[in-house]
Chain A
């Protein structure tokens, strides 16, 4: 039974019934309803508990300004917390529930906070839980449960989202009277126009007005304009679309709720679409939001914005109560009172804090039998879960003089705030307007203008004119000239929008008055403002954070100006003197799904790079790891084998037989040009101009501060051509580094650089049997004399044209075979077949790591951290002393890089050879030293070495090079490992295998 629904009026379809549930209770509404209008039609006011004090809360507004009526929608993965009931379109089968209450909305244990509210003043969290740090873990469990609004959904979101870019000449934000006129003007000029409005249908405030425009009913006029716009091929109307962010250079982000108004799973369309719009000109026709009044008990269910009561009556045919008292400081509340009375609500009294309200509206209200009490304020509210009555007293208090009036509805109006959020986001400064007692946009910071109520023009005729002018001007600025559309003749408009407002911010509270809230969503009271002032949080930005005014999902839509005004009063300043906080995106909450778009999770989240041999790896037990975007085999698991066992087996096989590794991911850069050698001499710490074609050299690259940044082997292909190899992760950065220096500093050099990483695949063949294996596949003479270590040859490898490099990262006799990527899988399979007689073992990245660590070969980024020099690594032999300059040379002579107590690369051997130190562990000097124990360094690489028969580790330790043989401690959470500092090489120190 929708017993609060009128039988006529409004723009709802009474012929159809929509069934929905709230907290399990089955209710019904009509197409055209929001969840809020349907709840009110059913007499439901109590919809939630407040954030901090768990006070019962009801619906306050009728649209996006709603601070209280935040509900949880949907079930399972489709759950959406903190949805405004006032902007949620009703559909058949909608499931909604209240939030922030336990165990039930009517009886909530957390409401004890209300009793104990003296214990929860402003700044409570900062004061109480900061110290001791440990106590937080104790408090946190309780706070997490007690505080906050809705709960995040626990299941993955099954919905689909998408994003798109759009460009236009004129973007009109808001399709109310001003926005529609602006769109019409811009559209007629031939400009590309996008109009976005957050509601399901255009019209904005007109949908709640009883007027006619050029003889058309105000509630129907928007549709006639939409039809005209629909006939223009360059105009796009986006409904259910909130422009939520205004960024640099007129880039705006909007969220289109494509299927939120439909039952879950009913449509194949995405749930929401994120629009990224670049507009030449923007017209902000975002309307205005009514301001609540601040008085004790103003948060009780049944205390509503006057304009919202009017909207529920006019647009949805819903009476928000039976008997109403209005509390106002301006004329607009009279229009609301009149319409409420006409809808069947018994409006008994208008409490007007102005001394002498007068004019046609006042007379019209009085003619309906409404008692106007001038110079009075509401000083208290009776009722907890619903208003039962109000106390009315004079301005200067005296509760004794108070009269009480019974009512179940309080309609309040403290004036109107233009919706300046987007203007402020764009960098436009806001100006305080004394006559309307509100902030309005000042000179626009970008190609943008505000129109209608958003600019402070509150009268309907003024809005229509302001919109038409703004649209014409915006189009003209974008290069499209057109005539300004005529302003429709308005009949029934009751004024020019002048509010005749006298500010009323609050009355100094006495403790017995009870709480007066200026911020309903964040539960902030006038007493909190007083406290913040006493504690000197008087800068508006500090005040906001200390009291939490204007935070949460609401971003101060109803609370900001009241909060600022009360603060100004406390600090004895003016409102413009206090100023306002910065409005930041988003205007209303945007779901993470919409921001993420369609590419959430799964393979589209980030590019996945696979080598040409990937399919073979996958089919042969590869256990993959991510190395940057690459998928690389970590090891190859055999039946019944653990990862550790596989790594040990592969590491051993590479030193006893032959192993092969897919090294295709290593970065490869082709460097060509007559200055290629000179260029590399400047890039590397070593010298490459002296390298003969056919030879290879290992090199380190430093940034100009002297810190190691990448390493690798470079081969001279010809006089004017080199092949630089980089680490897998550093490939892109090294290419960019080359390009940067070549373009920005060394543009006189004749050098061209090109990435050939994916053009060439690479297979490392390592182990005592590697020569035997490879020589069977090529006519190239592989004997050590003919093809020594650190040389390379063009070669025919099993019929494939490629290159053989006699280089090794394992420390074994080994070859790196480079072939065009399309041949790589074939070559890999040929090697596997040919190697069968040697029990060839494919090995993964972890065996590669163990092998190189046995030799003390570093991995940049693992054994260096951006503060490590070649000298720290014990690699001074790689740093040229002859070259006059190279990147890092002067940096290596800085006082800091010359310090003797720098962390230096060393090896560690644990006392217990079976113990593997966790990588990243801190190293301290003395076991059992008293805290604070000095941190002497850290373990960068650590493995069990099957070839050494014990664990090995590399570490960066202060003065490490001078501390050989010294004992150190590695304190862990449960135990301390003891180890000895040794040289960072554990296997074949002379390199006999490498060169053999």
Chain B
């Protein structure tokens, strides 16, 4: 029941959003990626205890994707930034 600050709509209840999982996963070049690299891209995800950069989608709102840095223990939201941006400094 988090209160998520959508960069476009402001504070909204988390039921309006879907979580797109770990952020900043780079899709390897399919022409050169090894099987292991491709498997890592497809299947392997971090599961940190603490700060986590995530992708979120305001599905029942503006239908925009954005990035959010969240503490997976306390659910504290540390940063919200554009889907085109890289992780802000000093947020893990």
Contacts and interface: CB of A to CB of B under 8 A. Distances in A.
A738 to B, nearest CB: 11
Nearest 9 interchain pairs by C-beta: A890-B30, A251-B1, A247-B1, A249-B3, A248-B75, A743-B65, A248-B2, A249-B2, A744-B65
Contact of B35 (A251, A740, A884, A895): A895
A736 B59 contact: yes
B72 to A, nearest CB: 11
B90 interface: no
A747 interface: yes
B33 interface: yes
A745 B23 CA distance: 11
22 contacts: A247-B1, A248-B2, A249-B1, A249-B3, A251-B3, A276-B1, A278-B13, A427-B74, A445-B74, A704-B27, A705-B42, A739-B57, A740-B65, A744-B65, A745-B27, A747-B83, A747-B84, A885-B30, A885-B31, A890-B33, A894-B38, A894-B39
Given A739-B63, A740-B57, A740-B65, 7 more contacts: A249-B3, A276-B1, A445-B74, A704-B27, A743-B64, A747-B83, A885-B31
Interface in B23-68: 27, 30-31, 33, 35, 38-39, 41-43, 55, 57, 59, 63-65
A249 B75 contact: yes
Interface residues of A, number: 24
Nearest to B55: A744
A891 interface: yes
Contacts of B43: 705
Nearest to A427: B74
B59 A744 contact: no
A568 B39 CA distance: 48
B4 to A, nearest CB: 9
Contacts of B92: none
Contacts of A251: 1-3, 13
B39 A278 contact: no
Contact of A890 (B38, B63, B75, B83): B38
A685 to B, nearest CB: 13
Nearest to A252: B1
Nearest to B75: A248
A773 B19 CA distance: 50
Contacts, number: 54
Contacts of A889: 30
Contacts of B42: 704-705, 891
B10 to A, nearest CB: 13
A167 to B, nearest CB: 10
Contact of B3 (A278, A704, A745, A894): A278
B88 interface: no
Contacts of B13: 251, 278
A248 B1 contact: yes
Interface string A219-261: 0000000000000000000000000000111010000000000
Interface string A274-311: 00101000000000000000000000000000000000
Contacts of B41: 704
B26 to A, nearest CB: 10
Contacts of B2: 248-249, 251
B35 A894 contact: yes
B91 to A, nearest CB: 18
Contacts of A740: 20, 57, 65
Contact of A744 (B31, B75, B83): B83
Nearest to B23: A744
B55 to A, nearest CB: 7
Nearest to A739: B63
Interface string A894-908: 110000000000000
Contacts of A747: 83-84
Contacts of B84: 747
Contacts of B31: 884-885
Interface string A123-154: 00000000000000000000000000000000
Interface string B1-14: 11100000000011
Contacts of B63: 739
Nearest to A898: B35
B19 to A, nearest CB: 12
A940 B11 CA distance: 45
Contacts of B39: 894
B50 to A, nearest CB: 14
Contacts of B59: 736
B8 to A, nearest CB: 12
A386 to B, nearest CB: 47
Interface in A837-852: none
A743 B1 contact: no
Contacts of A249: 1-3, 75
Contacts of B74: 427, 445
Contacts of A445: 74
Nearest to A743: B65
A733 B5 CA distance: 24
Nearest to A249: B3
A928 B3 CA distance: 60
Contacts of B55: 744
Interface in A703-745: 704-705, 736, 739-740, 743-745
A304 B62 CA distance: 58
Nearest to B37: A890
Contacts of A895: 35
Contacts of B75: 248-249
Nearest to B42: A705
A885 B31 CA distance: 8
A745 B74 CA distance: 30
Contacts of A885: 30-31
Contacts of A278: 3, 13
A740 B74 CA distance: 28
Interface in A373-402: none
A889 B83 CA distance: 25
A13 B64 CA distance: 60
A891 B83 contact: no
A902 B55 CA distance: 34
A87 B73 CA distance: 36
Nearest to A247: B1
B54 to A, nearest CB: 12
Contacts of A745: 27
A462 B75 CA distance: 34
B35 A743 contact: no
A17 B64 CA distance: 62
Contacts of B14: 248
A630 B3 CA distance: 32
A446 to B, nearest CB: 8
A251 B41 CA distance: 36
A720 B51 CA distance: 43
B81 to A, nearest CB: 13
A973 to B, nearest CB: 37
